[in-house]
Chains A and B, each alone.
Chain A
Amino acid sequence: MAHHSHHDAGAAALEDRAYVVPKSVQNLALALIAVGVAGLGFAFAGEAWRGWSNVLIGGYYFTGIALGASFIFAVFSMVNAGWWVVIKRPVEAFTTFLPVGLVAFLAIGLLGLHDLYEWSVPEIVQHDMLLQRKAPLLNEAGWLMRVVIYFGIWMTTTYLMRRHSRAQDNGPVDERTKSNVRLGAIHLVLFALTVTFSGLDWMSSLEPHWFSTMFGVYQFIGMFVAATAWLTLFVLGMKKAGYLPYVNENHYHDLGKMMFGFATFWAYIWVSQYMLIWYSNIPEETSYYFNRQHHGWEYIWALNPIVRWVAPFLILLPRGNKRNPKILALAAGILVFGHWLDIYLQVMPATSHFAAHHHGADVHGPLFGLQEVGGLAFFAGLFLLIVPKMMERAPLLAKHDPYLEEALHHDQ
């Protein structure tokens, strides 16, 4: 290696400070949860559909962050990536958030379906031949069962991957790295299928007459980019609090490249979905965009690609910006917001349209109030409460990971 003279101390001598959740983070999390309870309470006290819409938005957003992290975990394990070992523990901690997502979706499945999904209302299905034909897939029992299957798969594979990783903390067991190569590959196959089908169940079926073959990959890339952005914010924040002394601008650079590259992939998928539907101009396909290009939604629809691609692309294009913590945090923050806006734009036009037509709600166009702030704050608070707490349980430095040396010497 080129610079071993600088790192003669090596991994063994690195004194790793055990992670303790900073009081400020805990207070922020609790404050967010309080705002969330108030906002969601306000929503449910008013109109149930709006409460459930925001549970869906917040629950899906942070389930997606955990899932995106599981993808990072699996793919980097599978390809024997080196550089990421120093930020592996936050990635692992992200995946422990999945049970919260399970609770959110079970709650929606048991209590909120009728307020969100028109296929769950028998009186509507009765007069709708297409929904009758889709009933074998779109029915309440099946929907709930699949929630359990999806989360069962995700929680099992991520638990096993975390266990293999943690088994190396007490001494070198390289077989565990090999186990995660295999497990990562298995997870990725299951991930591709489950993310596609859960996306259809939870998001696409909000408008059950509409369909898009790009939808699954659109869900995947959204959560992957957002998980990378959250990971970047966590790493930068932990670094600022004095942890992760071995993480430097070379690691930032890679996080920046991931956000840059995959934000662009998001744009590619976005255009691929939009352009083909726009081009063929078939009413049952264009309805999705039609609803989002009228009644004030068009501004949010136009803002979406700007925050999810244009701004991050231009910010992250120069090399120096990817290595600058402040600029990197700005780009990550924009993407974190952009992913929320993206999901909001997938859910709200559909559920408010449904509410206006079947629940007599008086809504035309975008809604943003305490209810929306509450839904986001509630799940963000839980995320900031649980993930750092889970990070306390493991040493931040995976000391005996065979790729640690490579990560410590990462240079580009």
Chain B
Amino acid sequence: MASAHAAPASEATNGNKPFLVALFGDEHALIEATSAARTGGLPIHDCYTPYPVHGLDAAMGLKRSWLPYIAFCYGTFGLLLAISLQVHTQYVDFVPLWKGWPIIIGGKPFLSWPAFVPVFFELTVLCTGHLTVLTYLIYRRLLPGMKPKISVPGVTDDKFALALDPAAVGFDEGRARALFADHGAVEVLTVEGR
């Protein structure tokens, strides 16, 4: 379990704000340590894991993400875009300098909504999907070339990290280290981040 190779932790700096990070060997230890830290009033900065860990949100006391509401807005935007695109190109030929190009297709009237439905659907889905993912990646600084807020060694491999914020109210290094030890942390280190 315990890592044989000592990671050069203090060198992984992305900023000048220090975080006290405990690395655990498995998800159960992380969840229990996180719950204990939360009930003990220690300020949790974040958790880092190699894969999504079921129940960690609850242990950290995270609120629901705001991402679905953003996604709904993107979907609405996509639908409005599809409506205006088709109505404009297929109908608007009376606005000077901003004319569409109405064409009779299959003998149908210019504003034939059934023909517009696939585009309504596609643009709604396209905008929702792409823009939501893009928002998430930017917010989490995961786009290629972006510098992450903090980089904890081992969490993309086999380590489960709990980061505490020493600058926040309620932090107590002695209690934190005791809690880490109690829950079997394999390593405790300080990581500079933002």
Contact = CB atoms under 8 A, between A and B. Distances in A.
Nearest to A280: B106
B31 interface: yes
B107 interface: yes
Interface in A243-285: 268, 271, 274-275, 278-279, 281
Contacts of B114: 271, 274-275, 278-279
A1 interface: yes
B64 A279 contact: no
Nearest to B69: A318
A144 to B, nearest CB: 38
Nearest to A274: B114
Interface in A358-412: 411
A1 B68 CA distance: 26
Contact of B117 (A271, A281, A317): A271
A2 interface: yes
A352 to B, nearest CB: 26
A281 B58 contact: no
Contacts of A278: 114
Nearest to A275: B114
A316 to B, nearest CB: 13
B115 A275 contact: yes
Contacts, number: 32
A319 B67 CA distance: 12
A411 B64 contact: no
Interface residues of A, number: 13
B32 to A, nearest CB: 9
A298 to B, nearest CB: 15
A107 to B, nearest CB: 39
Nearest to A268: B121
Contact of B54 (A275, A317, A411): A411
Contacts of A281: 106-107
- Name which of A2, A274, A278, A317 has the most chain B CB atoms within 10 A of its CB: A2
Contacts of A317: 72
Contact of B58 (A1, A2, A268, A275): A2
B169 to A, nearest CB: 28
Contacts of A3: 55, 58
Nearest to A277: B114
A317 B108 CA distance: 34
Interface in A1-41: 1-3
A2 B107 contact: no
A346 to B, nearest CB: 20
A279 B105 CA distance: 10
B52 to A, nearest CB: 11
Nearest to B105: A279
B128 to A, nearest CB: 12
B134 to A, nearest CB: 22
B64 A319 contact: yes
Interface in A299-351: 317, 319
B68 A319 contact: yes
Contacts of A319: 64, 68
Interface of A: 1-3, 268, 271, 274-275, 278-279, 281, 317, 319, 411
Top 3 A-B pairs ranked by shortest CB distance? A2-B55, A275-B114, A2-B54
26 contacts: A1-B54, A2-B53, A2-B54, A2-B55, A2-B56, A2-B58, A2-B59, A3-B55, A3-B58, A268-B121, A271-B117, A271-B118, A274-B114, A275-B114, A275-B115, A275-B117, A275-B118, A278-B114, A279-B106, A279-B114, A279-B115, A281-B106, A281-B107, A317-B72, A319-B64, A411-B54
Given A268-B121, A281-B106, 8 more contacts: A1-B55, A2-B55, A2-B56, A275-B115, A275-B117, A279-B115, A319-B68, A411-B55
